[in-house]
Amino acid sequence: MFTGDGSGDFLYPVLYETGFASQPNAVSRDDGMRLHNLWISAVVHCAPPGNKPTPGEQRNCASWLDEEISLLRDLRVVVCLGKIAFDGFLAHQMRCGRIAAKSKFQFRHGAAYAMPGGLTLMASYHPSLQNTNTGKLTRAMFTDVFRRARAEAGLA
């Protein structure tokens, strides 16, 4: 995911700098990139028109997200890249009965929430070119989120 696009060009150097990736660039599935103590997933597993998934598309993909998360046995921190991911993860938590409502959780860059079961939820703006080219998300802001995630996970 994010390999070979503008978002990945912003994401992977930060993951490398913060110790989550073996190299600063990802251009293909065979480029040697290895992630360390990190799994990348998506709320929606297709590229919808306009790159903005509908609520129906999000519901259609929900079981895939639920299954992926259930397989992550040592999950300690979830970093959501963008509001769609944030809302999708909270919907997952509701489907699993871990939270009753999303209203206690506000999306804002850098927000962190203690979730049931010892999990930490962190939010970041999405590393889209729209956000990075306009300065809404800077490399320093993004790096800070992943440094904090590393510390929260006990990997510092």
Q: Could you give the CA distance from residue 143 to residue 148 in angstroms, rounded to a whole number?
A: 9
Q: For residue 31, tell me if it sits in a domain.
A: yes
Q: For residue 86, tell me if it sits in a domain.
A: yes
Predicted confidence band of residue 95 (pLDDT cuts 50, 70, 90): very high
Nearest alpha carbon to residue 64 among 47, 78, 46: 46
| Counted domains in the chain | 1
Q: For residue 1, tell me if it sits in a domain.
A: no
Q: For residue 147, tell me if it sits in a domain.
A: yes
Q: Are strands 112-114 and 120-124 parallel, antiparallel or unpaired?
A: antiparallel
Q: For residue 89, tell me if it sits in a domain.
A: yes
- Summarize pLDDT for 59-77 with one digit per residue, the tens: 888 999 999 999 999 999 9
Give the mean model confidence (pLDDT) for residues 19-36.
Answer: 94
Q: What six digits make up the tokens of 18?
A: 């913060």
Quote the mean pLDDT of the chain: 93
Confidence check: pLDDT of 144 > 80 = yes
pLDDT value at position 101?
94
Q: For residue 77, tell me if it sits in a domain.
A: yes
Q: Could you give the CA distance from residue 25 to residue 11 in angstroms, rounded to a whole number?
A: 9
CATH code assigned at 34: 3.40.470.10
Stretch (H or E) spanning 144: helix 139-152
Give the mean model confidence (pLDDT) for residues 84-113.
Answer: 96
Give the domain range for residue 67.
6-152
pLDDT value at position 81?
97
Give the mean model confidence (pLDDT) for residues 7-19.
Answer: 97
Give the pTM: 0.93
Q: For residue 84, tell me if it sits in a domain.
A: yes
